[in-house]
Amino acid sequence: MIRSLGVLREVLRGRRIPLWVEVVENRKDVPQRVVQLAREWGAKRIYANMEYEVDEARRDVRMLEEGMKRGVGVEVVHDTCVVPPGRCVTKATGKMFAVYSPWYKAYLQALSQDPALLTLRPPPAANPESTLTTRAALFTSALPSLPPGKTLTAEETLTLHELYPAGSQAAAAQLASFLTQKGRQYAADRNTPSISGTSGLSPHFSAGTLSARTAVFHARAANSGKLSGGQSGLDMWISEVAWRDFYRHVLAAFPHVCMHKPFKPSFASILWLAPSSPLHSTRFSAWKAGRTGFPLVDAAMRQLAKEKFMPNRLRMVVASFLCKDLHIDWRLGEQYFAEQLVDGDFASNNGGWGFASSAGVDPQPYFRVFNPTAQGLTWDADGAYVRTWVEELRDYRGDVWKITEQERRCYGYPREIVEHAVQRRVAIEMYKRGIERGKGVV
């Protein structure tokens, strides 16, 4: 994000438009500082894109109040979603859908009825040349350094800079390449991690260098002007981009999901493995390090550690494994992903963990438990992805899904930390008892 701000600053400077970047240490001081800057610069009005997380929404309300006190207008607009929250609701009750499929039908209908929702705005016109001198002070802000706890080694910096080029121009180029090359095969390839069949654009969505509106607009054009009923790969990709809107609509309609609570109140009564237990520490550490003995889980977690990214199919697998094989509270996994992912996004991350743990909106049933070995056989049958990331098995020429205990010892790869079939039964009973305890909770 910081690198992208640097790119944006130079692009805007070419148009004699200043970009002011400033760090405000305390969240509560942001509204006052923004209004103060507006007054210093002689600005009469502040415009901002609405964010739907509770803390951000409260910040914007305080900024509105601060502006009213100090004579500065504040207008917060819907722009991060293609279709604004509140537009895709049930006909019977007028309430937000809790299931994606009918919501998506309403989403497509909204775009059909209001084509302006996909209108792209032109870039701002350049300021006069004199702006560089009359407003010289506004061109002097420096980009912030990385915050504490987020510093990178030289090797990490090189790796991440190569993997994730910054700026909207890089995003536009990557989008165009995807739509003309891999996009048509997206439906067939997106779940196969060894061939990288996804667009890889989620870091740009997260950083704000690519909007969902821009992505859907260009995908529709590449799909013969259709949002659905065109090429299966592009149809699927448009639907996947729409999931981002769906989870933001959930935030707006059900703000309790921002408060460390499950979407389903009854699921708050599930008794997860106690954090004080030594077993909890052992299991959670093994999961984070990619040392569980389940090849697909370990490969995915090691990719996350190295590249700060993981394919979506594998996010579901490792999340299900944490909750339903290791019996660790899904919120700890959600937090760990938020700390690690280069495409970290609260709404999508929360929604994904809610789905995998069965505690969220439109979830998989609690009794559906991903078998990590079966998932590996389905999506990485030849073990190519596993061998890429699990160094111990790189030279192993056997079937990684049938590796024996003796072979594990020989190659230095850990034994399975749990027995899946056993832990699956334990998890189902754990969920049953928790849901029963939680009946009537609102």
| Full DSSP string of 160-217 | HHHHS--SHHHHHHHHHHHHHTTGGGHHHHTT-GGGT-S---HHHHHHTSS-HHHHHH
Q: pLDDT per residue over 239-259, tens digit each?
A: 999 999 999 999 999 999 999
Together in a domain, 325 and 238: no
Query: Are 369 and 239 members of one domain?
Result: no
Residue matched to tokens 């209108």:
119
Mean pLDDT of 360-380: 94
DSSP-based helix, strand, coil % in the chain, nearest 5? 60, 5, 40
Q: What is the mean pLDDT of residues 187-191?
A: 95
Q: What is the pLDDT of residue 441?
A: 61
Residue 155 lies in a domain: no
Largest CA distance in the chain: 75
Which listed residue (103, 237, 287, 330) is catalytic?
330
CA atoms of 338 and 349, how far apart (whole Å): 7
Per-residue pLDDT band at 263 (split at 50, 70, 90): very high
Do both 42 and 110 map to the same domain? Answer: no
Of 46, 77, 108, the position where a domain reaches its end is 77
Of 312, 392, 407, 416, the catalytic one is: 312
Q: Is 312 part of the annotated catalytic residue set?
A: yes
Which region holds residue 403: left if phi is over 0, alpha if psi is between -120 and 50, else beta? beta
Q: How many CB atoms lie within 10 A of CB 382?
A: 11
Kindly state whether residues 43 and 89 are assigned to the same domain: no
Give 22-48 pLDDT, tens digit per residue: 999 999 999 999 999 999 999 999 999
Q: How confident is the model at residue 306 (pLDDT cuts 50, 70, 90)?
A: very high
Give the pLDDT score at 148.
Answer: 84
Determine contact, residues 139/234, Cβ cutoff 8 Å: no
Cα distances from 373 to residues 113, 189, 364, in angstroms, run 45, 20, 19
What's the pLDDT score for residue 203? 97
Q: What is the pLDDT of residue 440?
A: 65
Share of the chain above pLDDT 70, in %: 99
- Reply yes or no on whether the pLDDT at 442 is more than 70: no
- Give kind and range of the element (H or E) at residue 219: helix 212-222
Of residues 109 and 442, which shows the higher confidence score?
A: 109
Are residue 46 and residue 172 in the same domain, yes or no? no
Alpha-carbon dihedral angle through residues 74, 6, 341, 207, given to the nearest 10 degrees = 40
- Look up the domain containing 384 and give its range: 265-438
| Number of domain units in the chain | 3
240 labelled catalytic: yes
Give the pLDDT score at 235: 98
Distances (CA, A) of 377 to 10, 80, 417, 422: 48, 38, 19, 20
pLDDT at 349: 96
Mean pLDDT score, 221-233: 96
Instruction: Provide the CATH number for the domain around residue 231.
Output: 1.25.40.80
Q: Which of 231, 253, 275 is the last residue of a domain?
A: 253
- Please tell me the predicted confidence (pLDDT) of residue 149: 82
User: pLDDT class for 375, splitting at 50, 70, 90?
Assistant: very high
Instruction: Note the pLDDT tens digit of each residue in 379-435.
Output: 999 999 999 999 999 999 999 999 999 999 999 999 999 999 999 999 999 999 999
68 and 30 both lie in a single domain: yes
Q: Are residues 231 and 311 in the same domain?
A: no
From 103, 237, 287, 353, the catalytic residue: 353
Residue 356 lies inside a defined structural domain of this protein:
yes
Residue 373 has pLDDT above 60, yes or no: yes
272 is catalytic: yes
Active-site residue, selected from the candidate residues 53, 240, 392, 407: 240
Are 177 and 302 members of one domain?
Answer: no
Average pLDDT of the chain, as a whole number: 95
Residue 325's nearest CA partner among 296, 362, 349, 305 is 296
Q: Is residue 125 situated within a structural domain? A: no
> Among 127, 272, 379, 416, which one carries the catalytic annotation?
272
User: Do both 236 and 299 map to the same domain?
Assistant: no
53 carries an active-site annotation: no
Q: Residue 333 — pLDDT band, cuts 50, 70, 90?
A: very high
Q: Is the pLDDT of residue 361 over 80?
A: yes
Task: Kindly state the average pLDDT of the residues 200-210.
Answer: 96
Task: Give the model's confidence band at 151: pLDDT under 50 very low, under 70 low, under 90 confident, else very high.
Answer: confident
Which is catalytic among the residues 103, 237, 243, 287? 243
Mean pLDDT of 320-343: 97
142 belongs to a structural domain? no
Q: Check whether residue 360 and residue 244 sit in a common domain.
A: no
- Picking from 318, 340, 322, the residue whose alpha carbon sits closest to that of residue 331 is 322
**What integer pLDDT is reported at residue 289 of this predicted model?**
98
Please tell me whether the overall predicted TM-score, pTM, comes out greater than 0.75 for this model: yes
Burial of 189 (0-12, 13-18, 19+ CB in 10 A): middle
